[in-house]
Structure 1
Amino acid sequence: MKKNILILIFVSFSSIAFGQLTLNNLTVENVSNPIGIGVKTPRFSWKLVSSKRNVKQSAYEIQVKEGENTVWESGKVTSEASIFNKYAGSALASDSKYIWQLRVWDNQGNVSKWAAASFGTALLDSKDWKATWISSGLKTDTVNGIVPILRKSFLTSKKIASAKVYVTSKGLYDLQINGKRMGDSYLSPGWTSYNKHLQYQTYDVADLLTQGKNAIGVLLGSGWYRTRLTWTNKQNIYGKETALLFQMVIKYTDGTTETVVSDGSWKAANSHIMYSEIYNGEIQDANLEQKNYSMANFDDSKWASVLTKDFPKDYITAAVNEPIRKHENFKPIQVLTSPKGETILDFGQNLVGWVKVAIQGKSGDQIKLSHVEMLDKKGVPYFENLRSAKAQTTYTLSGNGVETLEPHFTFFGFRYVKVEGLSGKINPNDFTAIALYSDMKQTGTFECSNPLVNQLQSNIQWGQKGNFLDVPTDCPQRDERLGWTGDAEVFSRTAAYNFNVNQFFAKWLIDVAADQNENGSVPFVIPNALRGTGFDMPVGAAGWSDASIIIPYNMYVSFGDREIVERQYPSMKAYLNYVRGAAKNDLWNTGFQFADWLSYRVDDSKGMIGMKSAITDNYLVAQCFYAYNTEIMIKVATLLGKTDEVQEYQALLERIKKAFQAEYMTASGKLISETQTAYILALQFDMFPENLRTQAVERLVKNIESYEYHLTTGFLGTPFLNPVLSRFGRNDVAYKLLLQDTYPSWLYPIKAHGATTIWERWDSMKPDGTFQDPSMTSFNHYAYGAVGDWMYRTIAGIDTKEAEGAGYKDIIIKPELGGNLTYAKGSLETNYGLLSSSWKIENNKFILDVEIPANTNATIVFPTDKLETIKENGLIVNAKNKTVGSGKYHFEMQL
């Protein structure tokens, strides 16, 4: 009897212990159950979930199996590490599936149940490629010619257990098997520095195959590979021929394997896509469509044989980033008629993607869709800011009932679409705008009591969606759409709040290193589509080229991903050495600089009465960023244990600051450029001696007051404007700038013109409704959205410590009040779990609710000096700061 009672007690205790600690979000290389990782030592991450407070992991155990064979047992590892734990078992095999299981122990005597997940390997060695590169060989397959179809039929004679496709292209592919589209990614394989770094994708296609006859059909578009890129109209940058590399591995239930590859047995023909180009758009003729071209019974006897190509495969790697996928759909909110009689659809949101049409007409009817971001003040579509980009789709109908039409190998930045070719009244339900962007998981939310600020947050996120289309582009609409390093650099920390961009930037940074010049300088756009043009210079520019240093470190801080800085460190070091070589006596005052790009000028919108242009000395800006880069290199060298380099960079930083003070500052602390940006950067990077910082803040505030609390900063000053003011105790000014709603300000485009994305210029549309210089006026340009970082960190109060606390292992919750906001709330899905901070003010009482994920710590800094009034669930805290572990907390206090 006693024995049974003891057993019952033990079972009950075990159930309670397991119930108190669970695991979720098991990932390998930041992906849940990936099917095609290309690394030989993958990293495992997981999140702990517990309803209890102060829960931390004390140990973990991982087991990895291939079938019944155990390939790794970590044993019980005493460690808090729950992210990026490296595989340490026997060598993984290519094209294989592994099951891994995990259990953890916490600091309160609980052990989780085993949690299981899977991962599949791709082709871990270039020798695993059995496929051959193939090209259509058709005369019509030119950069501006007809898109070809490549086709292959094959037999499967046994019952299929699994089937995976590994595929890439020189160009863009759209693949079908047995009449069904493979996967849900678009514009694949994406854009990389194609001749140095080409990614392939992995797909599970078992559900698309049948026992017996099967067929593959592939549309192969020019894409970024050979259509014109940049305003220089340069074509065939990476090559003149598109090509396909395809390998399908079929595993049967009897244990045998069959491989279907691209080779000389494939056939080619013209498709119905008569033209497809990144900037200009796409032309389709449904009358020429070869229906069912990917079906097994299709007659391809008149098709031509493909050409095999001896293109290299040794630089091809498995994709590490999320593919581009379809996301939000929009129906027109109104149908407009311009003064010219044009029919215009307004989708209500500036987005990036295309319009899907489901329409009926006669054979030969032609529909043309022209995409624009704005209408002028008369209601006429504004095409001028597209420059030479046509941004059109043209469809010729077949007349066979309702036809569903959409592009394949292009995209547009637009809110409005001019529709031509339809007779009679237009039906808006026939048109759907589809947003396309890299499939990053949204991680951050922000909301406050000011609706204009909430719209600003929406604009920031939509700017990121539209411009994070495989590479971080500057804009998505005109004849540019390039991976400008400066835009990405200033926005990278904000980007990491809004979405999980860890893998997105990891992939892009590979190209940063690949395209880096021999002298260590970094091109201004990555991939370097400017190479070979007059705009490609083997020099570095402050705020742009140093994305090679700043972004890797920001990714480490945001996600705790040490491997990014380890991998990029040679590139980071090479760039800093380039700047050291360009500097004279530690003063970087040579060469081309963008400086504080697009800062306020008097001639912008005719200026404000009595105001002057805010032009900051180019080399003052460069010297500040020289210090910024060096400070980061000190941190990274410390992280990586490079002691000698830490000391070297510390001495260098001291000399850089002394050189700045001697060249750009008077003895009393006045700078040679009396601009907001000059003082912001000098304060942000501690260029002033400590005893001169207070006066510098006063000069900055007086400058802002002289512009009636308007900002005048450009791309490089704007990200640090509000953080500097907050750091030095001037949140009052920071909030006035945030809430300013007349030009120039963040809220001006929203209040005056209903903007739904961030603009390239503060006055891309002027107060009088006219436009800025159309040669450089984008209405979807995220750089000024870098204020989102301050909104998360200061208004919501969510931040992380750096060094070993990076990635929100050691959290800071420090909301700072202002602007008459009565509430704000922010959340962030970190690599450890959900982190949130929500506050409101009621009857002069400040109420703060915080959620801290398991396996982390947080330091909460309260925004009141009335310490005796601070209570946590009714208990007096009586301290300005409180360190807590995981859990949910409710605080109240008097302000």
Structure 2
Amino acid sequence: MAAGHQADQLQAINLRCDYRKNPIGTGEKRPRFSWQLISEDRGTIQTAFRVQVGRESGDFGEPFWDSGKIPSEDSLHVKYEGPQLASRTRYYYRVKVWDQAGNESAWSEPAWWETGLLDESEWKAQWITPHPDAIDPRTEAVFLLRKRIHVRPGLQRAVAYASTLGLYELYVNGERAGDAELTPGWTSYHHRIQYQAYDVTGHLQEGGGGIGILLADGWYKGGMGDAHNRFRYGERRAAFLQLHLRYKDGSEEAVVTDASWLASTGPILSSSLYDGEVYDARLERSGWSCASAEELGWHPVTAIEPPAAQLIAQENEPVRVTQVIRPVRSFLTPAGAAVLDMGQNMVGRIRLKPDVPAGTVITLRHAEVLDRDGEVYFGNLRTAKQTVVYTAKGEPGETYAPHFSFQGFRYVQVEGLPIRENGPESHSGPLPLDCFAGEVMHTDMEPAGSFECSHEGINQLQRNIVWGQRGNFVDVPTDCPQRDERLGWTADAQVFMRTALFNYNGGPFFTKWLRDLKADQLPDGGVPFVVPDTKVGSSSAGWGDAAVICPWIFYQVYGDRQLLEEQYDSMKGWVGYIRAQGPSEYAWTTGFHFGDWLALDAKENSFTGATPKELIATAYYAYSTRLLRDAAAVLGRTEDVREYTELYEKVVAQFRGEYVTPFGRIASPTQTAHVLALAFDLVEAPMKARIAQSLNELIAEHNGHLSTGFIGTPLLCFALSDHGYHDTALKLLLQEDYPGWLYAVSRGATTIWEHWDGIKADGSFWSDHMNSFNHYAYGSIGDWLYRRVAGIDLDPAAPAYKRIRIAPGIGGRRLTSARASHESMYGMITCSWQVVNREEVHVTLRIPANTTASVILPGCTLAGLAESGLPAASADGLSSFEEGADSLAFEAGSGEYRFVYRAPALFANRFTVENKVRELQDDPEVKEVLERHLPELLAPPLMYFAKNWTLQQLADDPQLPVTDERIAALLQELQEA
């Protein structure tokens, strides 16, 4: 095709405005646009773009703004530079692009965004609450607020903007507006309160109408934190709404919350995030949000002083019901309780469809696991009740789900429904399963990543990681979703963030949360343990460092300089806080620290591991200072770069002088101490090999197991893989006994546990006090799986995967394939590798347009590499080949590639053991011995792994005979482990 001609295969797609597709009610006065390119040609790079913005009708004949043709590769975060935007207005935009060959695309399909109220002076509504003389403000009952409205003929558009002090649902003429749950979300309520926008045009018609609000305590008034610290933001719920009616003649009207509204209570007698909901369907007020609603039982409202916090437009995607799952069975426990098993530890609620007489009381008690006697285990909930009580009205087709509560559960103990005799197999137990559905709730983030490999245990681990993220990303990144906590712990967020952003598009989610972190940061730069802050404490190493680490990860993944700029003062504040702690300016040796939380090398009755807290604190001090320096460089702050480079070098020198011997030993003989020194690059290059060797030896001393906690575990496998011990990292991952990731999998876990031994081998529990079975921190191993096993990574110098690093972890123990995909801001990236016929490697890549990739294939030579059946040296899109001692590196442009090469050296050791296993399985005498022990090998809870593990141990030492005594000894070893 001639240069300058329109190329049908070149297109701009997936247009986004500030990460979101067609958002309504935005608060940005200068929004930013992003798009992806697709092209049939390999190696496509954008060289220019043009953006047009049209107003209201989407007519681009006379665009509201036209960027003109801009020579640039930028396709992310392109800022709107047109005239001032109007409030409550829909704008359409479209994009065309040019590539390096001069090809010009057609205009993209238009996308749109709609502004909210961009100026405070435009708010006319009042904050209203029931008059205290009529309804006690202390009541647990959910308020009903309503107003009759009149709609004139010729209605063109109706948009409502609403918020509350508490949680709310909006109704118009008896119908729910929108599908968002737990609105307005949880922000730093002292500083920021979100409002939501709803297009309710379809709910209104000419004549009389009604609008209603359900108003509950929620995070604002319900009390957050553990049983000893029920923190509240305020003592009175209040609602705020502004409904704008636009007519075809150009006129407008506004309906606002004011003293003309009415209030009452209804069927929701109480609703709590921790305790659940009590609902009496017999108290429902039919048509309460319609014009025809009866007046009896309604009371006046009163306006209150507006909160000091700023009212802001919705920043995050809201919480929604994203999936409905059915119970897999029901059963009676030994004590006779009727229980539903959802088959998955989930977060959300149960929707009931009962067919029972009026007045029947149905109680649902939610929990995560069963105890060793087969009873539902409620002990780890602490004071949280997680109980829903529903009183039926006895009408055909009635249905109910809690409104302002969510539960973390797999099992539901059901009381009040008649227990039936076990009938046909389809009945699946004593409860009618068709009466129940599990509605999965979480922030409605777009899925972005996937991972799978040849080991089914690891595939289940990946599913557990994703379910753990879903269950704990409920408007804020919580630690757990079941007990009386559910707080935004900063350390959990920072160690898991990179994993999270691979699995889901978390741009809006972390934008909101980081702004709350900045808002809640203390005047001296200290950072609360939890964000939003509920006053449980502040400023521990590894926790407060989220103020620096999270904005930097966000920038790396999304290339968002604007958010980095926003958070920069917060980042400086945190490093400044550490620097001021004394007595040394270059080491952090004071204050409270959690340390290596829940590490296995902790002393008895301690939650903190053996690694000195001062070592951890100083290591994080150096790391945060380095990232702050890097952020300053990105933002062009030359003086800060100089200052923080000098500070960083002095902190590192202090760390080395205090914790590293001249011969390259770490003063603390713990795995975590070695991990931090390697992962944070705190030791000189010549010493890294010695420290990595010591780390490997420490793991060997623990029989190939980890002993790390919240601080060390997320970095452990990276420290090993990046310093020559990838096989040890794989061995850690594949450990099927305690402690290790697959131990929980062997126990039937469907989410990540808080403790490595949350359920012990004998079925007993670690502790009632702190034993969540949905706690995503250890799920941070996902980041290593995606980057070091599947091999998809980014170049820090070219963020947002503008330059991709592909380095698949081929070889190692017991993995013959791995595949990952990630929908980056530029488009889909995939890397898939498979070992065929024991030594032939197949690698498939997909590199999105407008990016390039640096590829490293282990055990490969240029002469032996084929791409799509032809010599790779002459393949289109590939260049800059460089052979190393044991790998081949090269550059790849955009496109899809299929590589094949032989690498016998990679697999010699592994297949030697595998061959021995096969020989043992084929040996009649060995078979006879194994069959005698089959009941033990397949007995719970180790049935998933015992047989294979035993064969591996036998193969590792083939000189010894396979006897009953030897297998019995191995089984005893496995049980003790």
TM-score bracket for the superposition, by shorter chain length = over 0.9
* 1:470-524 deviations in Å (ceiling 9; x for gaps): 0000000000000000100100000000001111011001110111111100000
RMSD: 1.8
- The 2-side partners of 1:479 and 1:772 are apart by 18
SS of 1:187's equivalent in the other structure is coil
* 1:608-635 deviations in Å (ceiling 9; x for gaps): xxxxx96111111111111110110111
Correspondence 1:336-485 to 2 at 5 A: 336-425=331-420, 426-485=431-490
CA contact (8 A) 1:140 1:146 kept: no
Residue number in structure 1 paired with 2:897: 889
SS of 1:493's equivalent in the other structure is helix
- The 1-side partners of 2:585 and 2:406 are apart by 48
CA contact (8 A) 1:141 1:147 kept: no
- The 2-side partners of 1:70 and 1:744 are apart by 62
Residue number in structure 1 paired with 2:503: 498
Question: May I ask how many residue pairs the two structures share in their alignment?
Answer: 871
Residue number in structure 2 paired with 1:875: 871
Match of 2:123 among 109, 126, 129: 129
- The 2-side partners of 1:141 and 1:315 are apart by 27
- The 1-side partners of 2:4 and 2:680 are apart by 54
- The 1-side partners of 2:289 and 2:6 are apart by 55
CA contact (8 A) 1:815 1:862 kept: yes
- The 2-side partners of 1:859 and 1:54 are apart by 13
Letter matched to residue 757 of structure 1: T
* 1:124-173 deviations in Å (ceiling 9; x for gaps): 01111111111122554545521110001111112222111111100001
- The 2-side partners of 1:884 and 1:95 are apart by 45
- The 1-side partners of 2:135 and 2:465 are apart by 42
Do the aligned partners of residues 321 and 778 (structure 1) sit closer, same or farther apart at CA in structure 2, a change above 3 Å counting? same
State TM-score, norm by structure 2: 0.87
Match of 1:488 among 487, 493, 501: 493
Deviates further, 732-741 or 253-262: 253-262
SS of 1:678's equivalent in the other structure is helix
- The 1-side partners of 2:899 and 2:199 are apart by 49
Do the aligned partners of residues 236 and 793 (structure 1) sit closer, same or farther apart at CA in structure 2, a change above 3 Å counting? closer
CA contact (8 A) 1:605 1:766 kept: no
SS of 1:325's equivalent in the other structure is strand
CA contact (8 A) 2:442 2:475 kept: yes
Do the aligned partners of residues 727 and 101 (structure 1) sit closer, same or farther apart at CA in structure 2, a change above 3 Å counting? same
CA contact (8 A) 2:4 2:103 kept: no
- The 1-side partners of 2:2 and 2:248 are apart by 43
Do the aligned partners of residues 178 and 15 (structure 1) sit closer, same or farther apart at CA in structure 2, a change above 3 Å counting? farther
Letter matched to residue 260 of structure 1: V
Residue number in structure 1 paired with 2:923: none
- The 2-side partners of 1:603 and 1:555 are apart by 36
Residue number in structure 1 paired with 2:555: 556
Letter matched to residue 37 of structure 2: L
- The 1-side partners of 2:789 and 2:447 are apart by 20
Letter matched to residue 462 of structure 2: Q
State TM-score, norm by structure 1: 0.95
Residue 588 of structure 2 corresponds to residue 588 of structure 1: yes
CA contact (8 A) 1:20 1:110 kept: no
- The 2-side partners of 1:748 and 1:200 are apart by 44
Residue number in structure 2 paired with 1:744: 739
Residue number in structure 1 paired with 2:102: 109
Q: Percent identity?
A: 43
- The 2-side partners of 1:894 and 1:735 are apart by 22
- The 2-side partners of 1:106 and 1:141 are apart by 66
* 1:430-480 deviations in Å (ceiling 9; x for gaps): 011111000000100000000000000000001000000000000000000
Deviates further, 651-660 or 347-356: 651-660
Residue number in structure 2 paired with 1:325: 320
1:260: Cα distance to partner?
1.2
Residue 573 of structure 2 corresponds to residue 574 of structure 1: yes
Letter matched to residue 869 of structure 1: G
Residue number in structure 2 paired with 1:40: 29
- The 1-side partners of 2:806 and 2:754 are apart by 32
1:326: Cα distance to partner?
0.2
Residue number in structure 1 paired with 2:154: 159
Residue number in structure 2 paired with 1:766: 760
- The 2-side partners of 1:832 and 1:617 are apart by 43
Residue number in structure 2 paired with 1:3: none
CA contact (8 A) 1:605 1:767 kept: no
Do the aligned partners of residues 606 and 636 (structure 1) sit closer, same or farther apart at CA in structure 2, a change above 3 Å counting? closer
1:70: Cα distance to partner?
3.4
CA contact (8 A) 2:47 2:98 kept: yes
Letter matched to residue 840 of structure 2: K
SS of 1:522's equivalent in the other structure is coil
Match of 1:311 among 306, 314, 335: 306
CA contact (8 A) 1:388 1:478 kept: yes
Residue 506 of structure 2 corresponds to residue 517 of structure 1: no
- The 2-side partners of 1:542 and 1:769 are apart by 35
Residue 783 of structure 2 corresponds to residue 794 of structure 1: no
- The 2-side partners of 1:234 and 1:704 are apart by 39
1:820: Cα distance to partner?
2.2
- The 1-side partners of 2:131 and 2:463 are apart by 47
1:665: Cα distance to partner?
2.3
- The 2-side partners of 1:125 and 1:242 are apart by 25
Residue number in structure 2 paired with 1:73: 66
Deviates further, 134-143 or 442-451: 134-143
* 1:689-725 deviations in Å (ceiling 9; x for gaps): 2221111111100000011111111011011111111
Residue number in structure 2 paired with 1:193: 188
CA contact (8 A) 2:598 2:609 kept: no
- The 2-side partners of 1:91 and 1:606 are apart by 58
1:14: Cα distance to partner?
10
* 1:257-316 deviations in Å (ceiling 9; x for gaps): 111111111111111100111111110111111121112211125411111122147611
Letter matched to residue 625 of structure 1: Y
- The 1-side partners of 2:338 and 2:872 are apart by 65
Residue number in structure 2 paired with 1:9: none
CA contact (8 A) 2:225 2:231 kept: no
* 1:562-598 deviations in Å (ceiling 9; x for gaps): 1111100000101100001114141111111111110
CA contact (8 A) 1:143 1:226 kept: no
Residue number in structure 2 paired with 1:86: 79
SS of 2:47's equivalent in the other structure is strand
- The 1-side partners of 2:309 and 2:570 are apart by 21
* 1:27-57 deviations in Å (ceiling 9; x for gaps): 1111111121101000011111111111111
Residue number in structure 2 paired with 1:4: none
SS of 1:847's equivalent in the other structure is strand
- The 2-side partners of 1:141 and 1:422 are apart by 34
- The 2-side partners of 1:58 and 1:24 are apart by 16
Match of 1:823 among 802, 817, 820: 817
- The 2-side partners of 1:549 and 1:638 are apart by 14
Letter matched to residue 875 of structure 1: P
SS of 1:163's equivalent in the other structure is strand
Match of 1:26 among 15, 18, 24: 15
Letter matched to residue 508 of structure 1: W
SS of 1:573's equivalent in the other structure is helix
1:109: Cα distance to partner?
1.9
CA contact (8 A) 1:559 1:806 kept: yes
Unpaired runs of 5+ residues, structure 2, are 421-430, 874-880, 883-887, 904-977
Deviates further, 582-591 or 572-581: 582-591
Residue number in structure 1 paired with 2:970: none
Do the aligned partners of residues 865 and 106 (structure 1) sit closer, same or farther apart at CA in structure 2, a change above 3 Å counting? closer
Letter matched to residue 58 of structure 1: T
Letter matched to residue 511 of structure 2: A
Match of 1:754 among 737, 744, 748: 748
Do the aligned partners of residues 233 and 279 (structure 1) sit closer, same or farther apart at CA in structure 2, a change above 3 Å counting? farther
- The 2-side partners of 1:140 and 1:384 are apart by 36
